[in-house]
Chain A
Amino acid sequence: MRIPPAILTLVLGMVLVLVSLWVANDVPLLPESASINAPVYDELFRVLLAIGTGLLLGITGIVIYSLVRFRRQAGDQQDGEPIEGNLSLELFWTAVPAVVVLFIGIYSYDIYDRMGGMQSLSVHDHSPHEQLASVRHASPSDQDRLWGGIGIRGSADVLPVEVTALQFAFIFHYPDQNITSGELHVPTGRPVELRLKANDVIHAFWVPQFRLKQDVIPGQQTVLSFTARKPGDYPIVCAELCGPYHGGMRSHVVVHNPDDFSSWLEKTAPPTLS
């Protein structure tokens, strides 16, 4: 007796789901996660990877199955069935992707919020009316407008670092300790607020292990906050074409334990300031 196709389809669907979940959870595709928002990012990545794997394998399977199962024999001049459409089927594959896409959008929005992306960055919380007024009068407070993407701000114990991106290097300045360095040193567990500026062309500050990237645009004060969570030495990469040596515009972020960080500060701070 033949196995009913409905059962075969069901089993294949279950295998597909299991394979997708396995790929999403057990195939390492991402680098180490070293900041507190990296695990949040990885959560979104796993969801997207699971859905994507299922969809890609499913469609590939159906196309290959069709090519094998419905291939024409040599000399066959017959046509297939004259099926011109099926409205309920069309509605089905309009509605399901719409729901999936909406779910992904809302979920990723929630992830973005948890990564601090929806925080207001303006120093003065302008109401729309005030903003309009400031446009009209071009008040000097426009200079305070901050740009940025990710980062939870406002915590008391913030380590501020001024970052200057230029062709073809990053320069880090710790205003509280008056340290200037070509490498970024940060402690674990303490929020760091980067205040980025570029004077020549657009650069981008990217630490793959932090899952963070921010364009540094001339004329725009930009902030980026993060909290490192795993000690180590991670690359800082410029991710926006900035000229011939763009590929060489790299630096390091060294994440210390809080104690090691204090000793690094002491060792590096200029002796005139004590």
Chain B
Amino acid sequence: MTASLTPIAEPTPAPSLQPSGWLRYFSFSLDHKVIGLQYIVCGFLFYFVGGALAGVIRTELATPISDFVSREVYNQVLTLHGTVMIFLWIVPVVNGGFGNYLIPFYVGARDMAFPRLNAVAFWMIPPSGLLLISSYFVHGGAAQSGWTAYPPLSLTTPATGQILWILSVLLLGGSSIFGGINFIATIVKFRQPGLKMMMLPMYCWAMLGTSILVVLATPVLAGTLILLSLDIVAHTGFFNPGLGGNVVVYQHLFWFYSHPAVYIMVLPAFGLVSEILPVHARKPLFGYVTMVYSIMAIVILGLIVWAHHMFTSGTPPWMRLFFTIATAFIAVPTGIKFFNWIATLWRGRLALTTAMLFSCAFIIQFVFGGITGVALAQVPFDVHVHDTYFVVAHFHYIVYGGTVFVIFASIYHWYPKFTGRMLNEQLGHLHLLLTVIGFNLCFGPQHWLGLNGMPRRVAEYDPAFTFVNQLSSVGALMMAISTLPFLINVIYSALGGPMAGNNPWRALTPEWLTSSPPPVENWRGAPPLVTEPYGYGHNGSPIDLQTASGRDLWSTEP
């Protein structure tokens, strides 16, 4: 995709150790745009691994008996599926991928605050991902205790796989913390003079909130996993009830990270949607200030809801009441965001691009996931469906129907900037249609399965559920097929797509005010100062958008 990049006559010589051309995507590049694309492409490769693992799960569940893989392998597959999808696909792509590509543009900087730390953070991911996947081939196989790794099960399953799992999650957590520190420093300290916090595009706020969560919560997971590995390797008794340990403490510590992890996956998606919708609806983002406050409210509330994952474990009644109310209240700031997006669409001039339609599918599906989430926050409701397919359906509506749909929307939106070429919209619409039908067919019926008695993480089930499981498996197959038009589109368009020009969507945010793809330090000349990133709708103003270039809308002086 870099073949079209014409060499730029830089006034200063480029650093000689940095390769140019396609080779830089395989190098320890310090360019935030290269690192961002490295994250996205690497994440996609792991998405295929995680998707293949999901295929194994859905194939096994096409019949009520355990007949496709052995039961041990099935548990390894579900553990790897969860871990790969969370730690190697969604978190790196929505944070590291789009964050690295966009944040320096949005703050008017030429790179991230700590470029070397940035490159280190990325290059920790491929080895830890390979370590995780290769643990399947060691003696005893990969970890079998689910992505939650609850002791005592994780203490009794084969130790080598579990230790390798811990090691790779620790490395991925470290990478995530490095990224979080970098984003906070870049957003807070690297804004160009004159650019105030309340002028930033919404994705900056989302990444600031996410990075705060990463920095506060991920170290807790790291500490917990180190204690767990000591229990496995050195036979300490932190979480081993046989040695006086307590397994519920592990659950508290694990979910103290892993509930915020949901927001680490979802908040950046909220930010990306807030960038995409105004451009394709030709309207300002509705309610900028309340959007900012709702992100910060989600950050704070997200830190104090973790025990809702433990309503059926040993938790005292007062704790259940507190966590019910706190969890249900997250719906309020989240609801504000959704109402604001709908108000952004209202009376706009909507271009029904693939990016726009993926974003709208995200809104509907995430609302569904949010409704089941509020229901799950209610202790009596949760008691029945906890650890069932209802929960599986709920969180796939959040992370797939929510975040993964936004990742696709973002790729359709920013691909012209990444490569300088447009994606094919017809193939995009086909991709959208297959994904929406496949996704809802796969996960919609799982709500019913959970309500009616199918627990999660099982290789065999009551034959009464066969038909609904087969529906779900057909949906999963459609989701697998739906990636084909996407892949064809991305590869074909990179080579022969129509040229995009600098700003095909006529957007106002700063990444569009430079060439596509952008030069190494983002702009030739001074970076533009964008004080109104969503200033659409001034049709009668002296500047006519049809004739003027976007640059006329900004002054270069503060």
Chain A positions within 8 Å of B, measured between CB atoms, are 29-31, 40-41, 44-45, 48, 51-52, 55-56, 59-60, 62-63, 66-67, 70-72, 76-86, 89-90, 93-94, 97-98, 101-102, 104-105, 108-109, 111-112, 115, 117-118, 147, 149-150, 200-202, 204, 206, 208-209, 211-215, 217-220, 222, 235, 237-248
Which of B245, B328, B342, B455 has its CB near the most chain A CB atoms (within 10 A)?
Answer: B455
B386 beta carbon closer than 8 Å to chain A? yes
A241, B352: Cβ atoms under 8 Å?
Answer: no
Q: Chain A residues with Cβ under 8 A from B371's Cβ? A: 51-52, 55-56
A235, B325: Cβ atoms under 8 Å?
Answer: no
Q: Chain A residues with Cβ under 8 A from B351's Cβ? A: 71-72
Bound-state Cα–Cα, A184 to B378, Å: 29
Within 8 A of A (CB), among B145-167: 145-146, 150, 152-153, 156-157
Bound-state Cα–Cα, A101 to B537, Å: 35
**A247 and B349 in contact, given A94-B336, A150-B383, A213-B387 (Cβ under 8 angstroms):** no
A84, B286: Cβ atoms under 8 Å?
Answer: yes
Interface with A: B9-17, B180-188, B312-320, B513-521, which one?
A: B312-320
B332, A63: Cβ atoms under 8 Å?
Answer: no
B224-244 contact mask (Cβ, 8 Å, vs A): 1 or 0: 000000000000000001100
Q: Chain A residues with Cβ under 8 A from B368's Cβ? A: 56
Known: A52-B372, A72-B282, A90-B290; 4 extra A-B contacts, CB below 8 A, are A66-B350, A72-B351, A84-B286, A241-B150
Bound-state Cα–Cα, A200 to B534, Å: 58
Interface size class of B (residues with CB under 8 A): 35 or more
Instruction: Report 27 cross-chain contacts, Cβ distance below 8 Å, ordered by A residue.
Output: A40-B380, A48-B375, A52-B372, A56-B368, A63-B363, A66-B345, A77-B546, A78-B282, A84-B284, A94-B290, A102-B328, A105-B324, A105-B325, A108-B379, A109-B321, A112-B320, A112-B380, A149-B311, A149-B312, A213-B384, A220-B248, A220-B314, A237-B453, A240-B387, A243-B153, A244-B71, A246-B458
B25 beta carbon closer than 8 Å to chain A? no
Which of A84, A94, A214, A245 has its CB near the most chain B CB atoms (within 10 A)?
Answer: A84
Q: Chain B residues with Cβ under 8 A from A89's Cβ? A: 343
**A101 and B331 in contact, given A89-B343, A220-B248 (Cβ under 8 angstroms):** yes
B314, A82: Cβ atoms under 8 Å?
Answer: no
Bound-state Cα–Cα, A106 to B386, Å: 20
A90, B152: Cβ atoms under 8 Å?
Answer: no
B331, A97: Cβ atoms under 8 Å?
Answer: yes
B457 beta carbon closer than 8 Å to chain A? yes
Residue in A closest to B317 when the chains form the complex, CB atoms = A118
Q: Chain A residues with Cβ under 8 A from B457's Cβ? A: 241, 246-247
Instruction: Select one of B331, B349, B386 contacting A213, CB under 8 A.
Output: B386
B290, A104: Cβ atoms under 8 Å?
Answer: no
B386, A78: Cβ atoms under 8 Å?
Answer: no
Q: Chain A residues with Cβ under 8 A from B387's Cβ? A: 204, 206, 213, 239-240
Which of A86, A89, A102, A201 has its CB near the most chain B CB atoms (within 10 A)?
Answer: A201
Bound-state Cα–Cα, A222 to B248, Å: 13
B353-397 contact mask (Cβ, 8 Å, vs A): 1 or 0: 000010010011001100110110111110110111000000000
**A147 and B364 in contact, given A79-B282, A80-B282, A108-B381 (Cβ under 8 angstroms):** no
Bound-state Cα–Cα, A95 to B395, Å: 26
Instruction: Select one of A55, A59, A70, A238 contacting B350, CB under 8 A.
Output: A70
B286, A63: Cβ atoms under 8 Å?
Answer: no
B378, A202: Cβ atoms under 8 Å?
Answer: no
B516-556 contact mask (Cβ, 8 Å, vs A): 1 or 0: 00000000000000000011111100000110000000000
The 6 closest A-B pairs by CB, nearest first: A82-B537, A247-B458, A219-B241, A208-B453, A108-B378, A80-B348
Q: Chain B residues with Cβ under 8 A from A77's Cβ? A: 506, 545-546
A80, B312: Cβ atoms under 8 Å?
Answer: no
B417 beta carbon closer than 8 Å to chain A? no
Which of A52, A89, A105, A150 has its CB near the most chain B CB atoms (within 10 A)?
Answer: A105
A219, B286: Cβ atoms under 8 Å?
Answer: no
Residue in B closest to A58 when the chains form the complex, CB atoms = B367
Q: Chain A residues with Cβ under 8 A from B477's Cβ? A: none
Q: Chain B residues with Cβ under 8 A from A241's Cβ? A: 75, 145-146, 150, 153, 456-457
B297 CB to nearest chain A CB (Å): 10
B539, A94: Cβ atoms under 8 Å?
Answer: no
Residue in A closest to B146 when the chains form the complex, CB atoms = A241
B378, A48: Cβ atoms under 8 Å?
Answer: yes
Residue in B closest to A219 when the chains form the complex, CB atoms = B241
B453, A235: Cβ atoms under 8 Å?
Answer: yes
Instruction: Select one of A40, A52, A81, A211 contacting B347, CB under 8 A.
Output: A81
**A90 and B537 in contact, given A84-B284, A217-B314 (Cβ under 8 angstroms):** no
